[in-house]
Amino acid sequence: MVVAHINHELRGRESDEDERFLVAHCERVGVPIVIAHAPLQQRTNQRTASSRATKPFSEAAARVARYAALLRLARDNDCRFIATGHTASDTLETFFINLLRGAAVEGLGGIKPQRALADGIMVVRPLWRVTRDEARRACCEAGWTWREDSSNQSAHHLRNRVRRELLPLLGELAGERRRHSRHRSQRCRRALSAPPQSRMRAAPGWSA
């Protein structure tokens, strides 16, 4: 097993501190680590170019660069699987993001538990059924600390607003039923992977 870290260099010293923190942690637990730098540039607002205004980086561009770097590292280290830290909370957020963007039903399945990235290399998500809070509790029980990405506080990214505004509101409105909502995306994913003739029987219910 090899730990991989991709540094996009978007947050200056904070990004470098994230890298040093992870290197030190891997040394303590005795796991090798490899690092790739995949810098991303802030996007210039073309309509106000004279003021050199910038927009936040594209999450999609960061994701493409990150998986390209992970693929290179996997090949360099003879790894057949790339395990990411996506949790059930990420899947729920992705479901609502896709819903807000008007995705077709195929886009409402959230994050897949695994997918092929290239020939002979799979992306797997072992924490797919674990919530973010559950993962944090497990780290605390193991005596591990972690770092928070400050860009997760930015209201410029839709995912952050879904996480910080929409989901807490839905939790307040739904009460106890909120804990079941993350399973709907998973049931939708299973329904979409079923043969077409059985999809109607497998489709999850959406009771009010």
Same domain, 91 and 187: yes
Same domain, 40 and 5: yes
Under the banding of pLDDT at 50, 70 and 90, the label for residue 49 is: very low
Domain boundary among 41, 61, 78: 78
Same domain, 153 and 206: yes
Same domain, 121 and 206: yes
Domain housing 92 = 80-208
Q: What's the rounded mean pLDDT across residues 29-33?
A: 96
3-state secondary structure of 138: helix
Same domain, 48 and 109: no
pLDDT surpasses 80 at 168? yes
Least confidently predicted of 58-62, 104-108, 151-155, 181-185: 181-185
Same domain, 111 and 72: no
pLDDT surpasses 70 at 157? yes
The domain that holds 132 is classified in CATH as: 3.40.50.620
Domain boundary among 63, 78, 93: 78
| Alpha-carbon separation of residue 115 from 107, 112, 119, 124, 129 (angstroms) | 15, 7, 11, 7, 16
Same domain, 24 and 90: no
Q: How many domains does the chain have?
A: 2
- On whether the CB atoms of residues 84 and 111 are closer than 8 A, the answer is no
Q: What letter does residue 43 receive in the DSSP assignment?
A: E
User: Which residues have C-beta within 8 Å of that of residue 78, sequence separation ≥ 6?
Assistant: none
pLDDT surpasses 90 at 17? yes
Same domain, 108 and 205: yes
Give tens-digit pLDDT for 129-143.
Answer: 999 999 999 999 999
pLDDT surpasses 90 at 117? yes
**Percentage of the chain lying above the pLDDT 70 cut:** 75
Same domain, 49 and 106: no
Output 185 or 21, whichever has higher pLDDT: 21
Same domain, 98 and 192: yes
Q: What letter does residue 195 receive in the DSSP assignment?
A: -
pTM over 0.95: no
What's the start-to-end Cα distance of the chain, in Å?
45
Same domain, 95 and 25: no
3-state secondary structure of 203: coil
Under the banding of pLDDT at 50, 70 and 90, the label for residue 154 is: confident
Q: d(Cα 35, Cα 60) in Å, to the nearest integer? A: 21
Q: What's the rounded mean pLDDT across residues 20-26?
A: 97
Give tens-digit pLDDT for 51-95.
Answer: 344 455 677 888 999 999 999 999 999 999 999 999 999 999 999
Output 163 or 108, whichever has higher pLDDT: 163
Q: What letter does residue 42 receive in the DSSP assignment?
A: P
Q: d(Cα 106, Cα 45) in Å, to the nearest integer? A: 33
Q: d(Cα 61, Cα 40) in Å, to the nearest integer? A: 8
Domain boundary among 23, 45, 78: 78
Q: pLDDT at position 6, please?
A: 96
Same domain, 111 and 194: yes
Under the banding of pLDDT at 50, 70 and 90, the label for residue 108 is: confident
